[in-house]
Amino acid sequence: MTGMMKRFIGCAAGAAFLFGAAAAETIGAVTAEQLEAALSDAGLGPTMLEDASTGAPVANGRAGEFSFFVRALECSGKPAACENLVFFANFDLGRTATAQDFRIVNDFNDGQVFGRAYVLEDKNQVGVDYVIELGGGVSEDHLSQNVSRWADVIGAFVDQFRAGHQGS
């Protein structure tokens, strides 16, 4: 084989590898099956459900001792593939929400890059959510990393909320 032929074959193989890897790893939406796999891979024990009005995937999972939900939004196709994932966990206060609860939530939001906390005053709950947007395409590794981060977001919120109420 000539040097020119070896270079041509090497370039063609390299291009095929790069194109195949990029095409195989980029996703712009996830189906219920893919969402379940991503949550399972992160150790979040999902139970898959379906939104009664839209048919969009919904997952109920566990991050340690904490239960949470994931709602898939901006879905299309059959099976539904969805561009946005909204993770959320709500916690019953067992009492009326106070000004201290709002301060703790605001402090969390001021110092936290991932996740947003909130007070559901009419339900006497606090919670935290986290959004993953896939529209435009992300790598499978990016999705995996972001799904795995969710347990840390819940943990950080719970730790800050508990610390904010110690001694009060």
User: The domain that contains 82 carries what CATH number?
Assistant: 3.30.1460.70
> What pLDDT is attached to residue 2?
56
For 120, the enclosing helix (H) or strand (E) is strand 116-120
Is the residue at 12 inside a domain?
Answer: no
Structural domain of residue 88, as residue ranges?
A: 27-165
Is the residue at 18 inside a domain?
Answer: no
pLDDT at 12 over 50: no
Is the residue at 3 inside a domain?
Answer: no
pLDDT at 38 over 60: yes
Is the residue at 119 inside a domain?
Answer: yes
Is the residue at 52 inside a domain?
Answer: yes
Q: Which of 55, 50, 61, 56 is nearest to 89 (CA)?
A: 61
Is the residue at 8 inside a domain?
Answer: no
Is the residue at 77 inside a domain?
Answer: yes
Kindly report, residue by residue over 47-99, the tens digit of the pLDDT. 999 999 999 999 999 999 999 999 999 999 988 999 999 999 999 999 999 99
> What pLDDT is attached to residue 24?
53
Is the residue at 19 inside a domain?
Answer: no
> What pLDDT is attached to residue 18?
40
> What pLDDT is attached to residue 168?
56
Kindly report, residue by residue over 100-138, the tens digit of the pLDDT. 999 999 999 999 999 999 999 999 999 999 999 999 999
Query: How many domains in the chain?
Result: 1
Residue 30's pLDDT band (cuts 50, 70, 90) = very high
